[in-house]
């Protein structure tokens, strides 16, 4: 039964916790990126929807009895409108998903650039600031 003993140095502990949080965030980011990635079947959905709409329209035209031409024209017209609306909504959603993917990629690049800039600034600050010296035991005590 081996347990991880946290380091005694608070800076080291903070660094380890920050690294673990960053790793989990990166894993979550990659999982989300895989979820929104372009799939092979997305481009075929529009073509399949168009074929299904034509088949639906053909079924309506063939199976609809012809008692009154006005009713038949109304049913066919409303079916065409329904097909166009469903197609437009799905096309709209596909374009929105594409825009969200592009936005994700843009934000991801911006975050990576900001992370690199932050690392560079931290390094510059560490180089500019002199290392803090630990006071001696004799100098810490008040003079007598």
Structurally, how many domains does the chain consist of? 2
Q: Do 32 and 51 sit in the same domain of this protein? A: no
Residue 139 lies in a domain: no
Average pLDDT over residues 113-134: 81
Instruction: Specify the pLDDT at position 17.
Output: 81
Instruction: Specify the pLDDT at position 71.
Output: 77
Furthest C-alpha separation in the chain: 117
Average pLDDT over residues 12-25: 82
Domain enclosing residue 48, as ranges: 40-126
Instruction: Specify the pLDDT at position 81.
Output: 84
Q: Is residue 52 within 8 Å of 83, Cβ to Cβ?
A: no
Q: Do 46 and 58 sit in the same domain of this protein? A: yes
Q: What is the DSSP letter of 61?
A: H
| pTM more than 0.85 | no
Residue 134 lies in a domain: no
Query: CA-CA distance, 21 to 66, in Å (whole number)?
Result: 68
Exposure string of 28-58, with b = 16+ CB inside 10 Å and e = fewer, is eeeeeeeeeeeeeeeeeeeeeeeeebeeeee
**Per-chain mean pLDDT for the chain:** 77
Statement: residue 85 has pLDDT above 60? yes
Is 59 strand, coil or helix?
helix
Q: Do 31 and 45 sit in the same domain of this protein? A: no
């Amino acid at each position: 039964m081996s347990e991880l003993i946290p380091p005694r140095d608070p800076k080291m502990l903070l660094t380890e916790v920050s690294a673990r949080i960053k790793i989990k965030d990166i894993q979550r980011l990659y999982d989300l990126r895989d979820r929104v990635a372009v799939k092979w079947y997305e481009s075929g959905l529009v073509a399949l929807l168009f074929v299904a709409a034509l088949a639906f329209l053909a079924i309506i035209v063939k199976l609809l009895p012809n008692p009154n031409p006005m009713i038949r024209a109304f049913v066919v017209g409303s079916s065409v409108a329904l097909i166009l609306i469903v197609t437009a909504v799905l096309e709209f959603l596909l374009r929105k998903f594409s825009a969200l993917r592009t936005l994700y990629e843009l934000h991801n690049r911006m975050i990576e650039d900001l992370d690199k800039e932050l690392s560079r600034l931290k390094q510059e600050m560490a180089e500019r600031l002199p290392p803090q010296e630990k006071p001696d035991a004799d100098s810490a005590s008040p003079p007598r």
